[in-house]
Amino acid sequence: MTLSAVGATTDPAAAQDVLAGRRLVVLTGAGLSTDSGIPDYRGPGSRPRNPMTYSEFVSGEPAQRRYWARSHVGWARMRRADPNPGHRALAALEAAGVVESLITQNVDGLHGAAGHRTVIDLHGRIDEVVCLDCRQVTARAQLQQRLTALNPGFTEVHSAEVETAPDGDAAVEITDGFRVAPCAACGGVLKPHVVFFGENVPRDRVAHCHATVAALTPQDGALLVAGSSLTVMSGLRFVRAAHRAGVPVVIVNRGPTRGDELAEVRVDAGCSEVLGALAARPRP
């Protein structure tokens, strides 16, 4: 079976027509969370962003101080974000037996907050922290309390003036003097439990994602991409895998993506609108 892209449309029914009656694996990106007030990286109108790389973070204390100062402000906002209609629509489709698995490139945890049960957090979760020395994983909320005690008033001074990125990084310019908390267990370096740019996604996690996509068949399965430009290979590889297997791919994203030529259709519209319509459509 050979698939070819039919181009972009603004009509949500185009996605519904391809996906009707099929078992779905869903791949989501930052564009899904914009309606929750979390900006994306590459959507229309997004400003250029330079997220910290893994090599920069492990280069030493100055980079870690800069990261945690900015994240301390950004987390205070991100933890208040609520799931939007797009998240809730996907959770409803899972409950109805339509969505079998969901792979998210997002780190905000909003799929789980919406009630979605089967979620693979491809890039990790920003609400967890890992020690680079002893590898203990702890809750981000605990670290937030420690950072607040070490840096009283820092969040209040900066929170009104800066924008927050999808990874919780806030554009705080002056971070000198910010005090970083070490691991409470061993005194080691703490890092958010997310995959930084330049860092590899754990192999077992990638294998799990490939297995969920491989379980789809051209006859009754489909891969739905929601809110991702597929600019980075970590998500695009699953679209390529589905296409090679002859499984239909549908993309919902504002603006073109690297996977357009591999898709049956791209709906150029908001995720909340399109996914809401998909969830509301009567099923056989």
Known binding residue 183? Answer is yes
Q: Is 228 annotated as a binding residue?
A: yes
The separation between CA 178 and the C-alpha centre of its own chain, rounded to angstroms, equals 28
Q: Is 35 annotated as a binding residue?
A: yes
Q: Is 131 annotated as a binding residue?
A: yes
State residue 138 phi and psi, 5-degree precision.
Answer: -130, 170
254 labeled binding residue:
yes
33 is in an annotated binding site: yes
Spatial neighbors of 239 by CB under 8 A, at least 6 apart, are 27, 223, 225, 230, 249, 259, 262, 263
282 annotated among ligand-binding-site residues: no
45 annotated as belonging to a binding site for a ligand: yes
> Is 34 labelled as part of a ligand binding site?
yes
Q: How far is CA 220 from CA 23, 89, 105, 119, 226, in A?
A: 6, 21, 25, 21, 19
123 carries an active-site annotation: yes
Residue 223 one-letter amino acid: L
Q: Is 22 annotated as a binding residue?
A: no
Q: Which two tokens stand for residue 113?
A: 């907050």
**255 in a known ligand binding site:** yes
Find out whether 71 is annotated in a ligand binding site. Answer: no
Angle between helices 233-244 and 203-214 (to 10 degrees): 30
Q: Which entry of 123, 158, 193, 243 is annotated as an active-site residue?
A: 123
Is 108 assigned a ligand-binding role in the annotation? yes
30 is in an annotated binding site: yes
| Residue 4, marked binder | no
Q: Which residues are annotated as a binding site?
A: 29-49, 105-108, 131, 134, 183, 186, 227-229, 253-255, 271
Q: Which residues are annotated as a binding site for Zn(2+)?
A: 131, 134, 183, 186
Q: Which residues are annotated as a binding site for NAD(+)?
A: 29-49, 105-108, 227-229, 253-255, 271
As annotated, the active-site residues are 123
